[in-house]
Structure 1
Amino acid sequence: MVPGGWMAWTFPVALFFFVIGSLLILFTLLAIRYPETPRRGILRIETTRGDRLFISLLGSAFICLGWLFFFGAPLWGALILCLIYAAAVFRWV
């Protein structure tokens, strides 16, 4: 049995984990360099940058699942919707 053979380590999978890891590092550095106080948005809960990132990633997962259910692959349209959704979350939540 090949170590790691249980997962298909293709370029898109590696890129996904690289982007998520990079976002976590970037947001950690931003929190250290520019500390922020939580703010209230349209959800009426206090959120920080990290909270908004989590909400964006969670919502994007559901957008992609919905896209796959209704339209199938490829996910380029879902990617555009996810970017618009993330921009809206960071602006108004």
Structure 2
Amino acid sequence: MAWTWPTAAFFLCIFALIAMMGVWEVASPGGSPRVGVLRFETTRGDRLFVSLLGSAFICLGSLFLFPDAQLWWALGVCLVYAGLVFRFV
């Protein structure tokens, strides 16, 4: 894998998300697990994992379907998806 600025930014964003979740957990322990549309109990960390995994599939799907397009629109779709996961899952 080539270490370019976009690659480094990607991994820095993942690291920052995990760090922010850690700070959030220290500030408000527990996070009150809840049952959402998937019908099993999830915590904030579970929802972060589901949103990151789904975002990876959204980006891979956009590369497969639109190989010449930029990924900026897929980033927008990923942000909307993550918001929906944190709200309803």
Alignment TM class, shorter chain as reference: over 0.9
Q: State yes or no: 1:10 paired with 2:20.
A: no
Calculate the TM-score normalised by the size of structure 2: 0.92
Q: For residue 75 of structure 2, what is the aligned residue in structure 1?
A: 79
> Which residue of the other structure, out of 38, 59, 62, is the alignment partner of 1:64?
59
Which residue does the alignment assign to 1:39?
A: 34
Between structure 1 and structure 2, the one with the greater Rg is: 1
SS in 2 for 1:52: helix
**Identity over aligned residues, as a percent?**
60
Contiguous gaps of at least 5 residues in structure 2: none
Q: Return the match for 2:49 from 34, 47, 54.
A: 54
What are the Cα deviations for residues 8-32 of structure 1, in whole angstroms up to 9, with x where unaligned?
1111011011110111111011111
Q: RMSD in angstroms over aligned alpha carbons?
A: 0.9
Report the count of equivalent residues: 87
Alpha-carbon distance in structure 2 between the residues aligned to 1:85 and 1:37 = 21
Distance 1:49 1:11 in 2: 29
2:85 corresponds to 1:89: yes
Return the offset for 1:57.
0.4
Letter aligned with residue 67 of structure 1:
S
Under a length normalisation based on structure 1, what TM-score does the superposition of the two structures give? Answer: 0.88
| Residue equivalent to 1:21 | 15
Query: Cα deviation per residue 1:5-62 (whole Å; 9 max; x = unaligned)?
Result: xx41111011011110111111011111102221111111111111000000000011
